[in-house]
Amino acid sequence: MSRLFAHLVLMRPANIVTAVADILLGFAASGSVLLLGDGPVTVAHPQLRVLAWLVVATVGLYGGGVVFNDVFDAELDRIERPERPIPSGAASRASASVLGTLLLLGGIGAAFQVSRTSGLIAAAIAVLALAYDAVGKHHAVLGPLNMGACRGGNLLLGLSAVPAAVSQLWYLALIPVVYIAAITAISRGEVHGGDKRILLGSVGLYGLVIGAILVLTRLPQVRLWPAVPFLALFSYLIFPPLLKAIGSLQPLHVRRAVKAGVMALILLDATVAAGFAGWAYGLGVLALFPLSRWLAGHFAVT
């Protein structure tokens, strides 16, 4: 493994694509799609520049967060995952720490190009990510909530395309908080096998997420029917692997359930985005899915 490729592996590119989908959802929910107007849109449009900065910000924040995950886990990975870049020697803890720091600072800096609100949200995400990497992951309850808060913050970052939307629609962030908490809880069985009670609890959390999306469609600015096909596909992707993991409790099946949950984040975002901005926009978000799947075939997701 070359040093460049090793550092790309640390960033988990397939997962970063799912973070971009969060931004696209927040952008739609903020009303920014309406601000683009009905006519031709050029790359010079102010709201597209805002979107570009937010995408750069989330790439830095997510990439930096997962790089530091491997930095903090280096000693444990020497035992459980010796093939990872740091324990294998393809990357050093020092070089990974530099990369992670540059990514986090770059992400915060990009967010401040949008607004003070965006910058502060980005800074909070960076703190939450480091807290999870260093401490949160070791707590059975706080860990999943900590990771969920990172993802919820990422959705708020997308909402901050229109700063006023953050205070109006902040509760949207609760959906990824619950969903990511479920995935994080499932992931605890990736190495030694799953716990049936935890896996069954995650089924309940997945159901709660679907229920919350249906409740959202009661808002005047959200439509149900554009979201339904996306919601059906989302459900199809997440439940079969999780049910198989519950039946076997084997690490391989647990890892597949985690991978499916992470990949389906794009479907989750596309579902809600379609409700806010229509099926065509939802398809635009969904277009990230094959890219994420392709990257997942070349880079580790978990």
pLDDT at position 38 is 59
**Owning domain of residue 74:** 3-296
Assigned domain for 302 exists: no
Q: Collapse the DSSP code of 262 into the 3-class scheme (helix H, G, I; strand E, B; otherwise coil) and give the result.
A: helix
- pLDDT, mean of residues 259-279: 94
pLDDT at position 139 is 86
Summary mean pLDDT of the chain: 92
DSSP state of 225: T
pTM value? 0.91
Assigned domain for 250 exists: yes
Assigned domain for 301 exists: no
Assigned domain for 133 exists: yes
Assigned domain for 91 exists: yes
CATH number of the CATH domain containing 57: 1.10.357.140
CA-nearest of 131, 133, 14, 145 to 70 is 133
pLDDT at 125 over 90: yes
CA dihedral 200, 205, 208, 209 (to 10 degrees): -130
pLDDT at position 39 is 60
Instruction: Tell me phi and psi for residue 205, to 5 degrees.
Output: -65, -40
Burial 129-162 (b: 16+ CB within 10 A, else e): bbbbbeebbeeeeebbbbbbbbbbbbbbbbbbbb
pLDDT at position 36 is 80
Distance set, CA 252 to CA 78, 138, 190, 255, 297 (Å) = 19, 22, 7, 5, 16
Name which of 38-42, 131-135, 296-300 the model is least confident about: 38-42
The answer to whether 47 touches 83, Cβ cutoff 8 Å, is: no
Question: Which segment, 64-68, 147-151, 190-194, is predicted with the most confidence on average?
Answer: 64-68
pLDDT at position 244 is 94
- pLDDT, mean of residues 181-200: 85
pLDDT at position 40 is 63
Which two structure tokens, joined as six digits, stand for 179? 């969903």
How many structural domains are present in the chain?
1
Which two structure tokens, joined as six digits, stand for 261? 């949950």
pLDDT band at residue 1 under the 50/70/90 scheme:
low
